[in-house]
Structure 1
Amino acid sequence: MDNQFVKFVVSATLFLFGMVSILLLTVSIHEIREPPEYTLRTSYGIVLDAGSSHIALYIYRWPADKLNGTGVVTQHSECHVKGGGISSYAGQQGAAGHSLEACLKKAKRDIPPDRHHCTPVYLGATAGMRLLK
């Protein structure tokens, strides 16, 4: 009698294992992935520090895997603009923008292309901005 019980348990276990295997083979992978808003991704932000004596571009990044897109922010890279501060471009239409070109190209390389469209840019400037129109 014990021998028959062991055969029954082994048969039942193999049957259950087979059913679970077939079930797992029929479930497509996209059904078990997490929704995109919860997947791990990194967000970036650019801060332009337009001071009276220099201009710098800082890139920050953070893991935005939480529902509200927040995480611990770290500085990813920085670029210092050649030339003077923002007020040194007074009276030179477009010169301040042209001075940023090298740093903006660096930012395009440092930030993955799929994150460009959602990367905010912030400008922090001193009183020297009042000299520009």
Structure 2
Amino acid sequence: MTADRCPCGAGEPYEACCAPYHEGLKKPPTAEALMRSRYSAFALGHEDYLLDTWHPTTRPRSLDLDPDQRWTHLEVLSRTDGTLFQTTGTVEFRAHYRRRGERDVLHETSRFTRDNGTWSYLGPT
């Protein structure tokens, strides 16, 4: 997958975009970067990364990703805070997918928090 575009939609090759986060080589610097990397993790089936980046107070015990669900593209609609200098942020997005031939969309405004320099997903607003 070296030359393939990253599923997150940032326009970069996966290896230069979300792969370093998924491989634990880097931490997403902003709430939006974490949200994009989590979308890519859903698209690529990286359940461990999704659980690892979920805040412990809201994290489920396990995930059961649907193998029939194919994430097709991501639209980031807005963001509030979540920069390098903040500890909370939100990102509103639409995540488009296909399941058994039917198109659908997940529209969410996600909440994020940063503790000790690491962003975590809290859940929807």
Q: TM-score, normalised by structure 2?
A: 0.24
Kindly indicate which of the two structures has a greater share of residues assigned to helix: 1
Point out which structure has higher relative CO (alpha carbons under 8 A, 6+ apart). 1
User: If you compute each CA radius of gyration, which structure gives the higher value, 1 or 2?
Assistant: 1
Q: TM-score, normalised by structure 1?
A: 0.23
